[in-house]
Amino acid sequence: MKRSLRRRIFIGLIVAAAILAIGSCTISGPSYIRISNTSGSYTLAHVNITGHSSSNWGSDLLTPGVITPGNAQEFQTNPGFYDVWVTDTTPYDVYAYDIQVTAGNTTTLSFNGTTLQ
């Protein structure tokens, strides 16, 4: 009887440890910022994405492409906080600051012609 009780306790501890291990796992996989052009009439010609604390915008991620109205494009990032700058073909600049991207998820920003949110 004692042996059976010890075995049950041991198995229970193993199951509890497995549940705790599974519960503490983080979501993995690629993270993305998705730029959706919902403007209806403006074509996005430039997209720049930089870390929120960076002082440099880096290179245009669309070169040589564009995002036409009704379309979207995804840009792979690491989890963190980002600033995004888009320019349409008129050229009109729009910014979004401190955009959080979480692990394994896609954060979508919509350009409506005047804002990026």
Domain ranges of the chain: 31-111
Residue 109: per-residue pLDDT: 98
Class of domain 31-111: mainly beta
Strands ordered across the beta sheet of 106-111: 72-77, 31-37, 106-111
Residues (pLDDT < 50) of the chain are: none
- Token pair for 63: 């070169």
Residue 15: per-residue pLDDT: 64
Residue 63: per-residue pLDDT: 87
DSSP state of 25: P
Q: Minimal CA–CA distance to 109: which of 27, 51, 28, 39?
A: 39
Q: Which helix (H) or strand (E) holds 13?
A: helix 2-23
Specify burial of residue 17 (Cβ count, 10 A radius: 0-12, 13-18, 19+): exposed
Residue 84: per-residue pLDDT: 98
Total-model pTM: 0.76
Residue 6: per-residue pLDDT: 72
Residue 4: per-residue pLDDT: 74
